[in-house]
Each structure stands twice: as C-alpha cells, then as structure tokens.
C-alpha cells in the first residue's frame, strides 16, 4: 500500500472514527532480524571483540555474525537515515539495528563482508568534516553519550544537550575508538533534573541545572495555572499564596528555600526558571547500573556548577577529561569509576582528578547524614591539612 | 525457533509505499552541499561541524538543502523547518534560554499519549517551527529494522513533518520531531494503515516498554527479552494509550544482571534475567584462559597491556562473595553462595555460562530525581519463571498496579508511593512476605510500628488496674 499524498491522507476530519486503526502496537521484532540472527536465535555460545567497535558472535552451530558498531548523534535527519539504509542494503541484506545508547549496528555474516563494510563506513564524512559512522564504542572504552533534547525540542532545559554531547564526544573520541580504560565508562547527559535521560547512575553524568528561583508571572498566573497545584508542587514549601496590587491571585517564592528543581514550572507555566547567568552544568560521577562485582550505585556530585559556554563547553570538557584521565591512570583492571573512587576514598578522588571540593558537595538534603563520614578512617590529602590548620591543629 | 506476531502483519515493500523518486532523493550535489549557507547566521552551530564526532549540524544542513530543492508539492509543512530550527537554536545559545513554549495539548483521537505538543515562542521569526510537535513511534523490540520500514518512515516524515528525528528517544521510541497539528491524524493513519505500526506512550500511562538485545545476539540472555517486551506491550495497549495511572509507569527488560538497558535505574518495574541452578563450567576452557590461549573478557581490554591473565587476581579475588576457588587445575564455584554478579562469566565467557534453569528477578520503583531524589529499583521478586504466555508476570504486574492506582497520588511514581506507605506496608498490601533479600540490611532503629493485634491483650488498658499496682 502506497503512502498517501493527500493533504489529510487517509484521515477524514468529518468522520474521525472512520477506518481508524488503534492499539496495533509495535511491529513484531522477528521480521526485522537478519537471517543469521533468526537462524541462531537463543543459541549464541560466545563473542569476541575483534577490535574496537567490531564484535564477532559465534553460535553453538559455529555460525558467526559480525557486528560493526558506529557512533551517531541520536538526533538525525531522514537524509542520514536513508544513508544508513543504503549501507544496510548494500552490505547487510537490508537490516540494521540501533542500540540503547544510540549507536548504529550493522551486522554481516562473513569476514569478507565485514572488511568491505568497515572500509565503506570509515570513508564516509559529512561535508563539515566529521565522521558519519565512526567505528567504536565497545569494551573498556567510552560508548555513545546518551542524552536528552535540550534547546532542540524541550521547554524546561537548563542547558543544551546535542551541542554539549558533540563537544565532549569530540574530546573523548580516542576513548570511543579505543579500549584502553580499566573498564567501560558510561557518560550520560540530561539537560534538567527531570532527567528524561535518567543519568543518575552513570560513570560520568552531565546535568543541566538552574540556580535562580522561578520568576512569578503574577498578572497571568491565575489564568494559566491551578495555583494550589503549583504550591503543592514545591517539595520544600517555598511557594505560598499571594495577591498582586490589583488584587489578582498569585504566589510568592521564598528564594532561600528553593532548590531549583523546576517542578513548579512543570506544573505551572507562569513560573519560569531559565536564565542565562543562572543556568549551567553539574557534573556527577561514580554511578553504574551493572551488577558486576559491586552493586549498582548512584552518581555523586563532584562539580557543583559550570557555566553554559555555548557551543563547546570548554569548562565541562576540561573537567570530564580530568576525571577520565585520572581514572584511566589510577583504576585497577575491571574497576568502574565508582569502584575506583570508593577504593581510594573520595578525598583521594578529588585529589587525583584535581577537582575542587566545595561546601556544595556536602549533602544537606534528605538523608544527608548517610553521607557523613562517621569513622577515623580517612586519607591525608591537602584538604585534610588545610582543614587541620584551620581548626588550629597545626601551624 | 520462530515467533509469531499476535496478528497478521502487512508486508513492507518500500518501492510500493514510497513518495519520492530516486531523482528526488538525490536532488543536490556535493558542491551544493559544501557551499550551503543557512539563511540565518549560525556561527556557534557552524563551529559544531568541526571535530571527529558525527555532527548533527552537518546532518541538519543536508536536509535543509534537500528541502530547498524539493518542489512545493512534495512537502506539507514549512520548507524552512530545518533552517528555522537551526536559527532558533543559535538564538537560544545567544540568550542562554530555550525558546520552546510550555505545554500544548495535542494528540490523536482516542489516545491520551504518544504525541507531545510543542510551540516556538519566536513564531514570527521562525515561522516553519511555530508548531513543532513530536510523535513517538513505538520501536520494534531491541531496535532491529528492515530498511523497507525505515525508508518508508523517512518518506512519510519528510512529506508530513520536518524530516528530523531521534533514533531513539530515551524511553526507546523512534521519535519524529516537528510537525503541525493538522498533520498529526494523517501521520497516525499512515503509520497504522501503511506501516502497520503504532505510536508509543507519554503522560500518565504505561510508557513504551524497551528491552536489551537478548537472545537475538547475546549468550548471557536468561529469558526472551524481546518476546516478553512485545507480549506485554501488546497485552497492555490500553494502558499504554489511555492515561489512567497516577503518573508514568515504565517497564524495561534486561536479559541478565549486566543490565544493558539500565532497567534497574530507570523503570518502575525492572525485569532482569537470572538463573537458580549452577553456573556451567567448561574446565578445558578455564585452562585455556589460564594458559593465555583465550583473551579474557572477550577482548574488551583491547591492546592495552594489563599483564598476563591471572585467574586469582582477576576473577577469584574479585568475586563479591568469594565463592570461587581453584582445586588443583579445576575451578570450583560454591553456587549456593553466588549472587550472580556476572563478573566471572563476563571475564571468561568461553568457560563459564549462566545456568539453564533461568527466569527473572523483578525490582520495583526506580525513577529520576524529580521529586524527592533519584531512586533505584528495589528487589521484590527474587525469581520468577518467564515463559509465554507470561500469565504469572501479568498477574504480578496487576497486583502492583491495583495498589498504585488505588493509593498513588497525582504525579506520584511507584517508588515514591513505596517510600510514603513504607516497604513493610507495601509488601503486605500486594501480598508478599517479607524477606531479607528486599533490604541491604535490617533497620538500625527500633521504632517498629507494632500493630495492636501483634501485642497480647491489645492496647486497651484500665488506668485503675495499673494504679492498683503503682501509686501516683
């Protein structure tokens, strides 16, 4: 059946229920598997990473499938998707796959096809000079940075996503193309703490954050919002009822109570938070979701705020590189960033990564006490001497 | 083995479905692309064309050029949509603030989700993105595609939308970014009638479920992640399309505890493959690893020299429960003490494999920080068989939903409800017995909320009786 070219296609606004198909659900996965996947489904015996970005899976029957993993911006146009399809048509019998981390995977069933595919992929560049299909993202390296919409499509961001991810990925490119780290390192990016990207368990998380309380659009709030819902949306009770001079119902904000979460703006568009000087980037580190060796863990805030320096975010890039390089140098084989930080101690983490420890990094929200150190076990770093001196303990 | 969809699917053949001819698909030259200039000054975006990582700006310019050269009757929304998007993005960089308005309730008839309304607040300056709604297309499980499907989506979307998309959004959908309100129903009809597929979830409903690659290409998968994902997605279509929940609800399916779709961090109900028998050991392959004949960790450490493989240092002493040892040249595992962390299996995949009596562990309540802080999912069901038609799993899902829909407040995620009512009360309500597996440690305070019926004689006491023994 051909796609319709009628302005309203198959939809008749006079009879909106006519021929309406609902609850079809997604197409079934089986039809999208290349033959080698269908034939060996559930019988894979083992795999090898032949080189960064190239996997070979071997089934019980001895059949092999080679996968070439390519980085991609998750934002892409139909023009790029058509090029992906042309490659898949030429090399992969018309099948292609995307990973959870927005990589593209091309699968072939022989070593000869693999070489031709790799050569083809490596030769393709955008007119601006960047690679269209960089091969990598496997093993003990850095895979694609998952991220959110940012200024391209979102109404609540505290920073932009695609530009920051491009800037950081350019700088971490050697780690995408190589497998020289102690273990995999996952970088994730979310442009506000709604975190549609759920970055809170990543080795390194980049998070857009506001620092100014909402502005109250007093003359309009009573028309645009349910005021009680806006008040109830605040987790710290910083919003209370108010009246404008003209007697309209409004709210007032206790700025010193605000933790800048933006939940009020989600509930009420008359309470915008975004601001050029206020908004910026928080870096968290040491989280993971794998159960390997240690349990999954949350990322911890290690850099409280950096400015939104569009388009290349040099301060963010510099701090991310500091963490990656210190980790690459210091961690044991198989140790994730969080495991490494816990083994050497967070005080040593800050020293090794050359990150400043400020009061912002000591938790003062709920359950904060769980993070206080209730032990005499610590390491002497410069921070310990500075503290001891300040307390009158040493000269 | 082969699977059947729940219904007959329409065959997909791009050549029968397409809108654009081959000539229209190649409607610009390399030279034209190289000399392409966006109609707005976008210096910060031009900068983002440099560097090795794929540039979304370069990609967008390709599509902008294509649209400039397509004839008027080959598109139904603004020709300049890509350039207007770039222009507004540059303005956002200049001003350090987004220019997308808050909200905008649009959708398709009968559904309460799957479409996100979006309007520019700079509509006069960038008219082609004045309306820029998103359509979430429910992705096929584990995101394999045929090019017939993708190419057809591309034609439909270039014709009826901006031609810009996400492969994929964070929840897992194939996201179509940017169209007008008028085109939402036509797009929905084309998706259903031509592509035989559906849109995904948004708002307070079941969000589009997502799974790892599972048995399609992974030796660790302990259950059919694709099949369970597809089955539950189909079974709960009503919950997916018609918001009836307190807030969003996410299912995610990881085939093993490595957790490649991060279900434990980002799903209200996390299904993670596991096993309850013994890890399978091939002792000859263990010897081959020790001898250095097989590269450990499937070659994940590439060419960096970490020294010769040392099974004691790299496997046995890193085991979190220390349940492994060498007895002579035999590797021995005390499986009763194993917590199935996957490290030994990941490190020596040719020698060790998960057991054969497999199923799932179910954890509940993960979410991002909004509102009371991020939560990871809490272990609820240690082991459940996961075999079609999955009636046991559906029964469990509904026990949880029943309580959440009854007790959950507006915009309260399951994890927050569990915290508010407390874990003891939550498990009592959904009918599960307490188990030490649910906690990292027992409580450190003795503030137990004893119930009256727990205490012999109840709470009603007579002060006179008390005073008969104790003077004031």
Strands (DSSP E) contained in chain A are 44-51, 54-59, 64-70, 75-77, 95-98, 104-108, 187-190, 204-209, 239-243, 249-253, 280-285, 300-307
Please name the residues in contact with B261: beta carbons below 8 A apart, sequence gap of 6 or more.
Answer: A100, B210, B211, B212, B252, B253, B254
**What is the residue-averaged pLDDT of chain A?**
96
Nearest CA in chain B to A153: B100
- Give the model's pLDDT for residue B183: 98
Residues of A in contact with B199 (CB under 8 A): none
- The pLDDT confidence band at residue A368, using thresholds 50, 70 and 90, is confident
Output DSSP code: residue B274. Answer: E
B 403-432 residues inside an 8 A Cβ radius of A: none
Q: Which of A22, A52, A157 sits opposite B98 (nearest CB)?
A: A157
Cβ–Cβ below 8 Å for B215 and A1: no
Question: How far B472 CA sits from the closest chain A CA (Å)?
Answer: 42
Q: Is B76 on the interface with A (CB under 8 A)?
A: yes
- Give the model's pLDDT for residue B2: 64
- Burial label, A117 (beta-carbon count in 10 A; 0-12, 13-18, 19+): buried
**Above 80 in pLDDT, residue A49?**
yes
Cβ–Cβ below 8 Å for B216 and A194: no
Question: How far A246 CA sits from the closest chain B CA (Å)?
Answer: 26
User: Can you say how many angstroms the Cα of residue A165 is from the centroid of all Cα atoms in its chain?
Assistant: 9
How many whole angstroms separate alpha carbon A260 and alpha carbon A360?
Answer: 14
Q: Which of B19, B216, B238 sits opposite A41 (nearest CB)?
A: B216
Question: How far A364 CA sits from the closest chain B CA (Å)?
Answer: 12
Question: How far B459 CA sits from the closest chain A CA (Å)?
Answer: 33
Output DSSP code: residue A81. Answer: H
Residue A383, H or E segment: helix A382-390
How many whole angstroms separate alpha carbon B292 and alpha carbon A177?
Answer: 25
Nearest CA in chain A to B262: A289
Cβ–Cβ below 8 Å for B18 and A2: yes
Cβ–Cβ below 8 Å for B9 and A28: yes
Residues of B in contact with A308 (CB under 8 A): 96
Measured between alpha carbons, how far is residue B188 from residues A23, A284, B44, B203 in Å?
A: 12, 40, 36, 18
Q: What are the average pLDDT values for consecutive 10-residue runs of chain B, which has 472 residues? A: 78 97 96 97 98 98 98 97 98 98 90 96 98 97 98 98 96 97 98 98 96 97 98 98 96 97 96 98 98 97 95 98 97 98 98 98 93 91 97 97 96 95 96 96 94 94 96 94
Q: Is B66 on the interface with A (CB under 8 A)?
A: yes
Q: Is B92 on the interface with A (CB under 8 A)?
A: yes
How many whole angstroms separate alpha carbon A377 and alpha carbon A345?
Answer: 10
Residues of B in contact with A226 (CB under 8 A): none
Which of B4, B22, B55, B149 would you mutate first to test chain A, the one with the most A CBs within 10 A? B55
Question: pLDDT of A175-215, one tens digit each?
Answer: 999 999 999 999 999 999 888 877 999 999 999 999 999 99
Q: Please count the other Cβ atoms lying within 10 Å of the Cβ belonging to residue B203.
A: 18
Number of Cβ pairs < 8 A linking chain A and chain B: 488
Phi and psi torsions of A79, nearest 5°: -60, -45
Nearest CA in chain B to A155: B100
- 8 A C-beta contact, residue A221 and residue A288: no
Residues of B in contact with A46 (CB under 8 A): 219, 298, 349-350
- Give the model's pLDDT for residue A69: 98
Nearest CA in chain B to A130: B52
- Give the model's pLDDT for residue A169: 98
Helices (H), A331-369: 337-344, 346-353
CB < 8 Å & 24+ apart, contacts of A328-331: A328/A180, A328/A181, A328/A182, A331/A181, A331/A182, A331/A183
How many whole angstroms separate alpha carbon B60 and alpha carbon B29?
Answer: 16
Using DSSP's 3-state secondary structure scheme, residue A243 falls into: strand
- 8 A C-beta contact, residue A135 and residue A68: yes
Q: Which of B55, B96, B306 sits opposite A279 (nearest CB)?
A: B96
Output DSSP code: residue A209. Answer: E
Q: First and final CA of chain A: distance in angstroms? A: 84
Output DSSP code: residue B131. Answer: B
Residues of A in contact with B212 (CB under 8 A): 100
- Give the model's pLDDT for residue B103: 75
How many whole angstroms separate alpha carbon B263 and alpha carbon B259?
Answer: 7
Using DSSP's 3-state secondary structure scheme, residue A116 falls into: helix
- Give the model's pLDDT for residue B7: 81
Nearest residue to B167 via CA among A119, A16, A127, A71 = A71
Question: How far A390 CA sits from the closest chain B CA (Å)?
Answer: 33
Question: pLDDT of B40-82, one tens digit each?
Answer: 999 999 999 999 999 999 999 999 999 999 999 999 999 999 9
How many whole angstroms separate alpha carbon A16 and alpha carbon A8?
Answer: 11
- Give the model's pLDDT for residue B370: 82
Nearest residue to A53 via CA among A34, A74, A71, A32 = A71
- Burial label, A83 (beta-carbon count in 10 A; 0-12, 13-18, 19+): middle
Which of B37, B91, B95, B145 would you mutate first to test chain A, the one with the most A CBs within 10 A? B145
Q: Is B32 on the interface with A (CB under 8 A)?
A: no
**Above 90 in pLDDT, residue A124?**
yes
How many whole angstroms separate alpha carbon A276 and alpha carbon A278?
Answer: 6
Nearest residue to A106 via CA among A97, A119, A115 = A97
Phi and psi torsions of B162, nearest 5°: -80, -20
Question: pLDDT of B132-147, one tens digit each?
Answer: 999 999 999 999 999 9
* Candidate from A104-113, A367-376, B312-321, B435-444 with smallest mean pLDDT: A367-376
Which of A39, A53, A65, A79 would you mutate first to test chain B, the one with the most B CBs within 10 A? A79
User: Can you say how many angstroms the Cα of residue B321 is from the centroid of all Cα atoms in its chain?
Assistant: 30
pTM: 0.96
Please name the residues in contact with A290: beta carbons below 8 A apart, sequence gap of 6 or more.
Answer: A296, A336, B257, B258, B259, B342
Residues of B in contact with A89 (CB under 8 A): 147
Using DSSP's 3-state secondary structure scheme, residue B284 falls into: helix
How many whole angstroms separate alpha carbon B264 and alpha carbon B261?
Answer: 9
- Give the model's pLDDT for residue A94: 98
**Above 70 in pLDDT, residue A65?**
yes
B 279-318 residues inside an 8 A Cβ radius of A: 295, 297-304, 306, 314, 318
Q: Please count the other Cβ atoms lying within 10 Å of the Cβ belonging to residue B466.
A: 9
Q: Give Rg (Cα) of chain B.
A: 28
Domains of chain B: 14-194 (3.30.70.2500), 210-274+359-453 (3.30.413.10), 280-353 (3.30.70.20)
- The pLDDT confidence band at residue A242, using thresholds 50, 70 and 90, is very high
Question: How far A386 CA sits from the closest chain B CA (Å)?
Answer: 32
Cβ–Cβ below 8 Å for A127 and B264: no
Residues of B in contact with A311 (CB under 8 A): 44-45, 47-48, 93
Question: How far A222 CA sits from the closest chain B CA (Å)?
Answer: 16
Q: Which of A22, A89, A262 sits opposite B147 (nearest CB)?
A: A89
Question: How far B97 CA sits from the closest chain A CA (Å)?
Answer: 6
Q: Is B144 on the interface with A (CB under 8 A)?
A: yes
- Give the model's pLDDT for residue A320: 98
Residues of B in contact with A307 (CB under 8 A): none
- 8 A C-beta contact, residue A246 and residue A178: no
Residues of B in contact with A127 (CB under 8 A): 30, 33-34, 36, 49, 58, 61-62
How many whole angstroms separate alpha carbon A377 and alpha carbon B2?
Answer: 58
- Give the model's pLDDT for residue B104: 79
Polymer length in residues for chain B: 472
Which of B65, B110, B300 would you mutate first to test chain A, the one with the most A CBs within 10 A? B300
- Give the model's pLDDT for residue A193: 87
Question: pLDDT of B384-394, one tens digit each?
Answer: 999 999 999 99
Measured between alpha carbons, how far is residue B153 from residues B14, B124, B179, B191, B192 in Å?
A: 10, 30, 14, 8, 12
Q: Give Rg (Cα) of chain A.
A: 26
Cβ–Cβ below 8 Å for A37 and B303: no
**Above 80 in pLDDT, residue A118?**
yes
Residues of A in contact with B296 (CB under 8 A): none
Q: Which of A11, A170, A308 sits opposite B52 (nearest CB)?
A: A170
Nearest CA in chain B to A149: B169
Question: pLDDT of A142-168, one tens digit each?
Answer: 999 999 999 999 999 999 999 999 999
- Give the model's pLDDT for residue B1: 57
Helices B391-407, B423-430: inter-axial angle, 10-degree rounding: 120
- Give the model's pLDDT for residue A340: 98
Nearest residue to A280 via CA among A153, A168, A160, A171 = A160
Measured between alpha carbons, how far is residue A67 from residues A64, A92, A95, B207 in Å?
A: 10, 10, 12, 29
Residues of A in contact with B87 (CB under 8 A): none
């Amino acid at each position: 059946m051909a796609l319709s070219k009628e302005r309203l296609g198959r939809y008749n606004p006079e009879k909106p229920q006519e021929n309406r198909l609902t609850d079809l659900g997604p197409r079934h996965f089986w039809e999208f598997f290349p033959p080698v996947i269908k034939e060996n489904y559930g019988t894979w015996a083992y795999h090898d990473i032949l080189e960064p970005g190239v996997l070979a899976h071997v089934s019980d029957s001895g059949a092999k499938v080679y996968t070439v993993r390519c980085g991609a911006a998750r934002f892409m146009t139909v023009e790029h998707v058509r090029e992906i399809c042309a490659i898949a048509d030429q090399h992969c019998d018309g099948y292609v796959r995307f990973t959870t981390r927005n990589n593209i995977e091309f699968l072939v069933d022989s070593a000869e096809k693999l070489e031709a595919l790799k050569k083809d992929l490596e030769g393709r560049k955008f007119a601006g000079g960047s690679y269209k299909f960089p091969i990598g993202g496997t093993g003990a390296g850095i895979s694609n940075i998952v991220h959110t919409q940012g200024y391209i499509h979102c109404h609540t961001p505290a920073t932009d996503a695609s530009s920051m991810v491009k800037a950081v990925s350019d700088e971490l490119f050697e780690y995408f193309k190589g497998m020289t780290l102690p273990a995999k390192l996952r970088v994730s990016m979310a442009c506000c703490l709604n975190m549609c990207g759920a970055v809170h368990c990543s080795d390194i998380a980049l998070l857009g954050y506001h620092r100014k309380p909402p502005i109250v659009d007093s003359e309009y709030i009573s028309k645009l919002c349910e005021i009680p819902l806006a008040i109830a949306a605040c987790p710290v009770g910083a919003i209370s009822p108010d009246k404008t001079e003209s007697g309209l119902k409004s709210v007032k904000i206790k700025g010193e109570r605000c933790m800048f979460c933006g939940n009020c703006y989600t509930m009420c568009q008359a309470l915008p938070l975004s601001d050029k000087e206020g908004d910026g980037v928080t870096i968290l580190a040491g989280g993971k979701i794998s159960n390997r060796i240690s349990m999954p863990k949350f990322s911890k805030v290690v850099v409280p705020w950096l400015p939104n320096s569009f388009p290349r975010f040099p301060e963010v890039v510099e701090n991310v590189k500091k963490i990656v390089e210190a980790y690459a140098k210091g961690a044991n084989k198989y140790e994730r960033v969080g495991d490494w930080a816990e083994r050497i101690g967070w005080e040593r983490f800050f020293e090794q990564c050359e990150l400043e420890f400020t009061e912002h990094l000591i938790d003062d929200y709920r359950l904060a006490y769980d993070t206080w150190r209730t032990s005499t076990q610590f390491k002497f770093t410069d921070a310990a001497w500075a503290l001891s001196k300040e307390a009158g303990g040493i000269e | 083995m082969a699977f059947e969809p729940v219904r007959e699917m329409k065959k997909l053949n791009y050549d029968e479905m397409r809108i654009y001819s081959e000539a229209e698909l190649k409607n610009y030259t390399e030279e034209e692309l190289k000399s392409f200039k966006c109609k707005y000054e976008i210096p910060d975006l031009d900068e983002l064309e440099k560097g090795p990582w794929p540039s979304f700006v370069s990609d967008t310019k390709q599509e902008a050029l294509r649209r400039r050269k397509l004839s008027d009757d080959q598109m139904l929304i603004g020709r300049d949509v890509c350039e207007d998007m770039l222009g507004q993005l540059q303005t956002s960089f200049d001003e350090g603030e987004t220019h997308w308005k808050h909200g905008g309730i649009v959708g398709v008839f009968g559904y309460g989700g799957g479409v996100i309304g979006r309007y520019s607040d700079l509509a006069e300056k960038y008219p082609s993105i004045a309306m820029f709604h998103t359509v979430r297309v429910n992705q096929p499980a584990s995101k394999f595609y045929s090019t017939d499907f993708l190419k057809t989506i591309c034609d439909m979307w270039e014709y009826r939308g901006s031609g810009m998309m996400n492969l994929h959004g964070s929840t897992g959908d194939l996201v179509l970014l940017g169209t007008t309100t008028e085109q939402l129903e036509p797009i929905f009809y084309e998706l259903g009638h031509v592509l035989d597929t559906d849109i995904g979830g948004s708002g307070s409903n079941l969000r589009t479920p997502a799974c790892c690659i599972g048995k399609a290409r992974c030796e660790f998968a302990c259950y059919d992640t694709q099949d369970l994902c597809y089955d539950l997605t189909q079974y709960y279509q009503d919950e997916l399309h018609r918001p009836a929940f307190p807030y969003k609800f996410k299912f995610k399916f990881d085939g093993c505890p490595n957790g490649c779709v991060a279900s434990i961090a980002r799903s209200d109900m996390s299904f993670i493959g596991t096993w309850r028998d013994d890890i399978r050991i091939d002792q000859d392959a263990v010897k081959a690893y020790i001898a250095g004949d097989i590269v450990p960790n499937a070659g994940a450490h590439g060419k960096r020299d970490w020294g010769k493989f040392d099974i004691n240092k790299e496997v046995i002493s890193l085991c979190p429960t220390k349940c492994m040892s060498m007895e002579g040249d035999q590797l021995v595992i005390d499986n009763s003490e194993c917590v199935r962390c996957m490290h030994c299996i990941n490190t020596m995949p040719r020698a060790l494999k998960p057991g054969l009596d497999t199923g799932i562990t179910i954890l509940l309540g993960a979410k991002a920080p909004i509102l009371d802080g991020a939560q990871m999912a809490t272990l609820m069901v240690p082991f459940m068989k996961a075999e079609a038609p999955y009636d046991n799993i559906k029964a469990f899902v509904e026990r949880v939903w029943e309580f959440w829909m009854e007790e959950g407040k507006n915009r309260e995620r399951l994890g927050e409800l569990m915290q508010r009512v407390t874990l003891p009360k939550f498990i009592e309500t959904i009918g599960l017995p307490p188990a030490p597996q649910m906690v990292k440690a027992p409580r450190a305070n003795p503030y137990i909320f004893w119930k009256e019926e727990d205490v012999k004689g109840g709470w009603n006491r007579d002060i006179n009786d008390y005073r008969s023994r104790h003077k004031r």
